[in-house]
């Protein structure tokens, strides 16, 4: 991805499954503080809580922003209509 710099010091710098806390599902990147990385898509789907604005997703990251914040980039949402 152009303009994305993966953090070589992070333990995960690839595609990951996670639960993401978001006020809306329209953004393409999320700060590390809003992301809980999980071992599988199944775990992410099981721990998702849409009523609390926590959604299962497939992400790329973490990547370091120009401000020094670690970000994850959305690959896709893992809901019933969009499984991996």
pLDDT at 32: 95
- pTM for the whole structure: 0.78
> Does 12 score more than 50 pLDDT?
no
Query: What does the alpha-carbon distance between residue 24 and residue 5 come to, in Å, rounded to a whole number?
Result: 25
The whole-angstrom distance between residue 39's C-alpha and the CA centroid of its chain comes to 12
Q: Is 33 helix (H, G, I), strand (E, B) or coil?
A: helix
Please report, for the chain, the start and end positions of each structural domain, with discontinuous segments joined by +.
Answer: 14-77
Lowest mean pLDDT among 23-27, 51-55, 80-84: 80-84
At 29-71, the pLDDT tens digits run 999 999 999 999 999 999 999 999 999 999 999 998 888 899 9
């Amino acid at each position: 991805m152009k303009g994305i710099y993966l953090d070589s010091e992070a333990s995960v710098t690839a595609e990951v499954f996670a639960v993401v806390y978001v006020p809306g599902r329209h953004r393409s990147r999320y700060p590390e503080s809003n992301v809980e990385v999980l071992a599988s898509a199944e775990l992410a789907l099981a721990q998702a809580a849409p009523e609390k604005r926590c959604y299962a997703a497939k992400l790329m990251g973490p990547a370091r922003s120009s401000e020094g914040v670690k970000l994850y980039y959305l690959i896709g949402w893992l809901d019933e209509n969009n499984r991996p």
